[in-house]
Structure 1
Amino acid sequence: MNLPSPRTPDPLHAPPLNWGILAPGGIAATMVEALQRFTRQRVVAVGSRSAERGASFAQRFGIGRVHDSYEALVADPEVDAVYVASPHSHHRDHALLAIAAGKHVLVEKAFTRNAAEALEVVDAARAAGVACVEAMWTRFLPTTDIVRQLLASGALGEVETFTADHGQWFALDPASRLFAPGLAGGALLDLGVYPVSYASFVLGAPTGVVARGTLTETGVDRQVSAVLTYASAAQSVVHTTLAARTPTVAAISGSEARIELDGPFYTPRVVRLVTRDGEVHESAPPVIEGHLGLCHEAAHVAQLVADGASESPLLPWRETISVMETLDELRAQVGVRYPGE
């Protein structure tokens, strides 16, 4: 049995956009490297509140213009699209800033702090007629398209269970954004969003959520385990933690077969299909490996812009909001509320 080939376009084929990077941190550096290596996208400007940091980032990647404020970045007439890579706590404000300037936006996951903020951003993008996409990069990978086709074909039979975990170890540092309530820290928005979003991809919005968790001494979620239920008999079991490096694997189990994704499941992976009788079938290895797969989401945005579209069919606005609603409920059940909510 041959698994389906991914239909994901080569990111090199996407028409180029001029990108501005808002907040030049670690994930932004990985994105720029991915764009420069695997696409025709042009990173033309970077905006940072630290002139020194912005200049260093620009020099590292050969970026021509450095802005010492985000307002100046989004006002740059050479910038077509803005990649919002600031902390979760600021995604809403920075996305709205770019949209108000008429820029297309790719907003890092988690999209915002909560569903209400997500709706604000989506409504603004719709009114402005600009492309707006959550940077849940897993959705745009060739691996995910293979899974998408297997689910659509019924190869698994009736899906019974989705399981996934994402845990990483971080030293407790109250000054780090991961542990700061004011920066919307915690395991869920940074790590748990991956299994929660993938559960949505597989089974849609849950009808019920049961969660248990523990908090850090700073008051953000340290560890969360949850069972999500659906209108069908299916369930998702998801887990996240800031305090241990877990296997980060995922599986989709059905009446006829299961799909296995080795860790980290959210990166480009081999897809393994195991039938009920124990036959094993695997896809070819990914062409673009690791976090360099970030290039796919930016290429997707560029194609949306070329097509005159604002919303991604692979991750529609309604689903981005729905995932935030699930995360809101998980946070509520474990007792995490961010300042100002």
Structure 2
Amino acid sequence: MRIPSETPIRWGILGTGFIAGAQTRDLVENGFTVQAVGSRSVESSRAFADRFRIATAHQSYEDLAADPEVDVIYVATPHPFHRDNALLALNAGKHVLVEKSFTMNAREAREITDLAESKGLVALEAMWTRFLPHMIRIREIIREGTIGEIRKVVASHNQRLPKDPLHRLNNPALGGGALLDLGVYPISFAFDILGAPETIDASASMTATGVDRQTAAVFNYANGAQAIVDCDLDAASANRAMVVGTEGYIDIEHTWYMPVPFTVFSGDGEVLERYDQPVTGRGMQYQAAELERLVRAGETAGSMLPPEETVGIMAAMDEIRRQIGLAYAADTEVVA
């Protein structure tokens, strides 16, 4: 479904929560065409459409998926619903940008990516950090060999979030816990720099509701490299990240997964590069631009975050959950 460069790619927004608003704001403010929004309630859909001056407000996800004026659907619902929402859109012939965590597990992720590939459609994980300018520059520095052989990646994502046991983040029925909401960021970063690990060692402590309050994991690689990742939903930290090589290191400032500065140091502590490029808005327009690039090129996978890597990230989180004893209903569901 290649779309010519002179033809606007029309976006539909599935869901009307906080993250849907953040993505839509960056789309609108950066010249993307947002055509429609869909919600489970017509009131929510109309309010969202009015807020962002969107032409069409649908009263259901099904109506949004069936809209012939929509080319791409951004899936912004909570992750237990990503599989069904993404399959709905793909079966209607729409490309999808799916919020992270992409799904509840690797099996669901594989369903989405396989269906997209079979239909010649793009299914891109909305791990917006991957597409930010500072991350692109970090990958260039590593490829150039500036800091030598990569030995270690260290990344944290710790926040102080609502403690209400009924809140989505604390509710196992809604995929609650630190890992899927917060841990996916440092885990994706480890995959970005070092690839899939050979083995994983994980531990966690749990909330009274049975989800992980904090989780830490060490990713071990065949060449001896390691990634140390951690997440916490009731205690905040500086949320920095570091890539350590044999000839130097990269220190990414607070909050590392947002568009922030970083500094490259030699092994002796000399500053080799200071990177600080501000971006407009939150920076979520870059992942949308990558999806549009793929669509216009008639491609279904790019190098910055290919579908196979998204499935691999979900598989790594499946293994972490196995080790810490965190299971969800989706893990045992039989899909017809």
- Is TM-score (shorter-chain normalized) higher than 0.5? yes
Partner residue, 1:126: 117
Partner residue, 1:110: 101
Partner residue, 2:299: 309
Give the Cα separation in 2 of the matches to 1:24 and 1:202.
33
Partner residue, 1:224: 215
Say whether residues 1:169 and 2:156 are aligned partners.
no
Match of 1:278, SS? coil
Deviation at 1:57, TM superposition (A): 0.9
User: Which has the larger displacement, 128-137 or 279-288?
Assistant: 279-288
Deviation at 1:14, TM superposition (A): 10
From 19, 29, 36, the counterpart of 1:37: 29
Query: Identity of counterpart residues, as a percentage?
Result: 45
Give the Cα separation in 2 of the matches to 1:340 and 1:111.
13
Partner residue, 1:157: 148
For residues 87-127 of structure 1, give each alpha carbon's deviation from its aligned partner in whole angstroms, at most 9, with x where no partner exists. Answer: 11011110000000000000001110000100000000001
Q: Is the 8 A contact 1:102 1:130 kept in 2?
A: yes
Unaligned runs of at least 5 residues, structure 1: 1-12
Match of 1:264, SS? coil
Unaligned runs of at least 5 residues, structure 2: 332-336
For residues 246-275 of structure 1, give each alpha carbon's deviation from its aligned partner in whole angstroms, at most 9, with x where no partner exists. Answer: 111100011101001011111112221010
1:210-221 matches, within 5 Å, as: 210-221=201-212
Give the Cα separation in 1 of the matches to 2:61 and 2:24.
18
User: Which has the larger displacement, 16-25 or 81-90?
Assistant: 16-25
1:87-106 matches, within 5 Å, as: 87-106=78-97
Q: Is the 8 A contact 2:26 2:284 kept in 1?
A: yes
Say whether residues 1:21 and 2:16 are aligned partners.
no
**TM-score normalized by the length of structure 1:** 0.93
User: Which has the larger displacement, 183-192 or 93-102?
Assistant: 183-192
Give the Cα separation in 1 of the matches to 2:150 and 2:86.
36
User: Which has the larger displacement, 262-271 or 86-95?
Assistant: 262-271
From 276, 293, 297, the counterpart of 2:267: 276
Deviation at 1:183, TM superposition (A): 1.3
Q: Is the 8 A contact 2:97 2:291 kept in 1?
A: yes
Match of 2:45, SS? helix
Deviation at 1:174, TM superposition (A): 2.5
From 123, 126, 131, the counterpart of 1:140: 131
Partner residue, 2:184: 193
Report the aligned-residue RMSD. Answer: 1.4
Task: Go from structure 1 to structure 2 and tell me whether the alpha carbon gap of 1:135 and 1:226 turns closer, same or farther (over 3 Å shift).
Answer: same
Match of 1:252, SS? strand
Partner residue, 1:3: none
Match of 2:229, SS? strand
